[in-house]
Amino acid sequence: MDFICPNCKSENIQRLSAVFHHGYADINATGTGVGYGVNSGAVVSTTQINGSSQTIAAQRAAPPYKKKWYDSVVKYTFWYLVCMFITYLMFITSKDDITSPLCRGFTIVWIVMSIVKIVTSIRYNRNKYPPLIDSWNNSYLCYRCNDIFELRP
């Protein structure tokens, strides 16, 4: 099997996973500072920085990610609780009992949205993600023409 770019016939290629991992870095730094103010006396501070850095090539070579259903369900739950709290405030300030249908409506919407998100995430992770990650694992970047292509053994 020839490892050459099909576009420009260059041998200067690299697997996308290597491009991604070489261009990605986790950053953890801690710093301490000391200062003196005229009216406040001595000041000591500590700073901690956590993050990541990515090159443009690493961003282009990033792998496909699985969908996380729980992030959305947590957001839905937060907004559900906010709506229920607002409904409770309406209940204690109102003489009419309109809050019971609202509570049922919010609950039904929350359940349906959560189930839809969970099912679509599971389907994506089961059906669409495996071919995408397989394609990514067999893809290369040409450093001559900057083309991304797939090579199969």
Write down the pLDDT at residue 137: 93
What integer is the mean pLDDT of 134-152? Answer: 92
The Cα 117–Cα 135 span in angstroms is 25
Pairing of strands 139-142, 24-37: unpaired
Higher pLDDT residue, 52 or 142? Answer: 142
CA 97 → CA 18, 50, 104, 132, distances in Å?
62, 50, 13, 52
Task: Name the pLDDT band for 43 (thresholds 50, 70, 90).
Answer: confident
CA 33 → CA 36, 39, 41, 143, distances in Å?
10, 18, 14, 43
Higher pLDDT residue, 133 or 1? Answer: 133
Higher pLDDT residue, 66 or 106? Answer: 66
Please determine, for residue 102, whether its predicted confidence score (pLDDT) is greater than 80. Answer: no
Please determine, for residue 124, whether its predicted confidence score (pLDDT) is greater than 70. Answer: yes
Write down the pLDDT at residue 26: 82
Write down the pLDDT at residue 72: 79
Task: Give the chain's mean pLDDT.
Answer: 84
Write down the pLDDT at residue 18: 92
- The pTM of the full predicted model, rounded to 2 decimals, is 0.64
Q: Are the CB atoms for 152 and 138 separated by under 8 Å?
A: yes
The Cα 88–Cα 33 span in angstroms is 49
Task: Name the pLDDT band for 78 (thresholds 50, 70, 90).
Answer: confident
Percent share of the chain, pLDDT over 70: 92
Please determine, for residue 117, whether its predicted confidence score (pLDDT) is greater than 80. Answer: yes
Q: Can you give the residue ranges of every domain in the chain?
A: 14-37+44-62, 63-148
